[in-house]
A and B are shown apart, each in its own frame.
Chain A
Amino acid sequence: MDNQKLAVQIDDLTVAYNYKPVLWDIDLSVPEGVLMAIVGPNGAGKSTLIKTILGIIKPIAGSVSIYGKPYSKQRKMVAYVPQKGSVDWDFPTTALDVVMMGTYGSLGWIKRPGQKEKKIALESMEKVGMLAFKNRQISQLSGGQQQRVFLARALAQDAAIYLMDEPFQGVDATTEIAIINILKELRKAGKTVVVVHHDLQTVPEYFDWVTFLNVKKIATGPVKEIFNDDNLTKTYGINYKVAVNK
């Protein structure tokens, strides 16, 4: 890990909503090619951290750089998978249309998506096993299928870094396995994947890197070295005992 490039580097980041700090003086480096979980209790600022990296939320202080340059210059390298509940799934459109939105960034203003963009979108849908549902109205999709559509949309961006906000929330076991397999494939392809995650039991199984967050950064590093009761207790505030399968 010594000579590894840093995919994401965060310095002195502080975010507050109405004077109440949500993230306090965060320094965080994410090495290239890791599959990293961000864990922490509700209100720890996990989603806020991701949204701040993406420029959706403006920090009070601090900076974010992607491969050594400011995020605003490296936008195309980063793909975002928002929480499923953040949009209205009754919007009049199809699954393919939503996935196609992943190509809008490289298209830029005004230009319409064409055959090339459609091909990219279809390939992404195939990767997540949703090709059969491409013409389905999005309100007719199950929660797990909606999550896969969001994942396919991010894949269509063909980014180097993927930031995902609770992609496992409210999906069944089959979908969870399908999603984690795609994430592991992304890592194999040299991509960096950062996931806001809630299920502590699956951290050692799914991820190789972990960040403990509770307003402040508690710890970050390889799962094998730092995923232990000590850090869990520091993060969640209660005496935590988790059977870590090594």
Chain B
Amino acid sequence: MNIQEYFELVWTDYTLRTITLGTAVLGAICGMLGSFAVLRKQSLLGDAISHAALPGIALAFLITGTKDSGILLLGALVSGLVGTFWIRGITSKTHLKSDTALGLILSIFFGFGMLLLTFIQKQPNANQAGLDKYLFGQAATLVESDVQLMIIVTGISLFVMLLFWKEFKILLFDADYTKTLGFNTKFIDVLITFLIVLAIVLGLQTVGVVLMSAILLAPAAAARQWTNSLGTMVLLAAVFGAFSGVFGTAISASQNNLSTGPVIVLVAGTFVLFSFIFSPKRGLLFREIRFRKNRTNLKLMKTLQFMYVIAQDHENISHPHAIRILNNFQGYTKGSLKKLENEGWIATHGQQWAMTPKGFKQAEEMYNQKTVNE
């Protein structure tokens, strides 16, 4: 199957449609809520939460004996939340910094989860096979009920986000100030964190514990490059996330069933790379172009300034001078003379140049920042 066939099949093939819809919805909710994680500078929190969810999955299986994804994800949710509150506890009650707390919880919970997984695998129960898919995820195991759950959770998250948009925004920008306005900042904070945990848990089956934080952060990091508005950023991140899900699934399905989770993450990574280079305001490419343009401009102004000094000595500022006298000056080329003429700052006649009143004024006011800027 090639990509084209995939996009034809996706409308008719039930399994393919379910998986594609699932990864798209997952990408959207992760992009949306990941924006908040990125803006709160809590990028690593997602990584810690997803790893902290692993023992919950194993324990849920040990207790219930079923592999029903709903029950396992409930276990993941509980253990993810416990991890999150321990991280908060460690940072607020001890001298440890948050990166230490995140690292501790991440590795301890993950270690415990791996221990439980190997313990489960040693058991004679034939039902145990396949729990390790939560490590790297397996989109192919998504069934309709999983996708329905994703859609419901995404809908609820969207509703809560729109309802508390103002509160989320002000808390992200200035938490102390929010408190002085009388808002219960703890409640807003817990609400945002809870939604992020929910999104992560939802993605464990598809992308897995290890790569989950990438799908949370990459769309948001890419979206930040294109906009200076929070609303647009969240929307763009959701769109990037959804596209990563769809393209990732398409590529993995059409290329010999490559593992879907890593492919989705790589597609999202491509969005980030593209955005870092090509976004008009913050991108590296346009920054370099702007830098070069500024440098050329500056050179031009230097030449103009030099001409200004010469022209100042004459009563008539537009008195013509030989181009040759500019020879000792490095900032001048035929090109720059042409540009100066195009700006209407000088006029050239054969081997001579003369300053125009407009150019004289421009040079005079060069150091007056106000007029240059406006």
Question: Taking beta carbons and an 8 Å cutoff, which residues of A are in contact with B?
Answer: 18, 51, 54-56, 75-76, 78-80, 82, 86-88, 91-94, 98, 101, 104-105, 107-113, 137, 139, 153, 157
Contacts and interface: CB of A to CB of B under 8 A. Distances in A.
Contact of B229 (A87, A92, A112): A92
Contact of A86 (B39, B170, B174): B174
Given A54-B180, A75-B182, A105-B182, A137 B174 contact: no
B164 A80 contact: no
Contact of A76 (B177, B182, B229): B182
Contacts of A111: 166
B328 interface: no
Chain B interface mostly: helix
Contacts of B224: 92
B180 A101 contact: no
A82 B174 contact: yes
Interface residues of B, number: 28
Interface of B: 39, 41, 95, 163-167, 169-170, 172-174, 176-183, 224, 227-230, 232-233
A82 B173 contact: no
Nearest to B95: A18
Contacts of B167: 109-110
A54 B178 CA distance: 11
A101 B229 CA distance: 15
Contacts of B227: 92
Most A CB within 10 A of own CB, among B39, B180, B227, B229: B180
Contacts of B232: 92
A108 B167 CA distance: 9
B180 A56 contact: yes
B177 A101 contact: yes
Given A93-B229, A101-B177, A110 B163 contact: yes
Contacts of B172: 91
Contact of B180 (A80, A88, A93, A110): A80
Nearest to B173: A91
Contacts of A110: 163-164, 166-167
7 contacts: A54-B179, A56-B179, A80-B180, A101-B174, A101-B177, A109-B164, A153-B177
A17 B163 CA distance: 37
Nearest to A137: B228
A112 B176 CA distance: 20
B228 A93 contact: yes
Given A87-B174, A93-B173, A104-B178, 18 more contacts: A18-B95, A54-B180, A55-B179, A55-B180, A75-B181, A78-B180, A82-B176, A86-B174, A91-B173, A92-B224, A92-B230, A101-B170, A104-B170, A110-B163, A111-B166, A112-B166, A113-B166, A139-B228
B71 to A, nearest CB: 34
Contact of B177 (A75, A80, A94, A113): A80
A113 B167 CA distance: 11
Contacts of A105: 180-183
Contacts of B95: 18
A97 to B, nearest CB: 8
Contacts of A51: 176
A64 B286 CA distance: 53
Contacts of B170: 101, 104
Given A91-B173, A93-B230, A109 B181 contact: no
A71 B3 CA distance: 64
B34 to A, nearest CB: 14
Top 7 nearest A-B pairs by Cβ distance? A105-B181, A137-B228, A80-B180, A75-B182, A54-B180, A87-B174, A92-B228
Most buried by B among A82, A92, A109: A92
Nearest to A139: B228
A172 to B, nearest CB: 12
Contacts of B166: 104, 107, 110-113
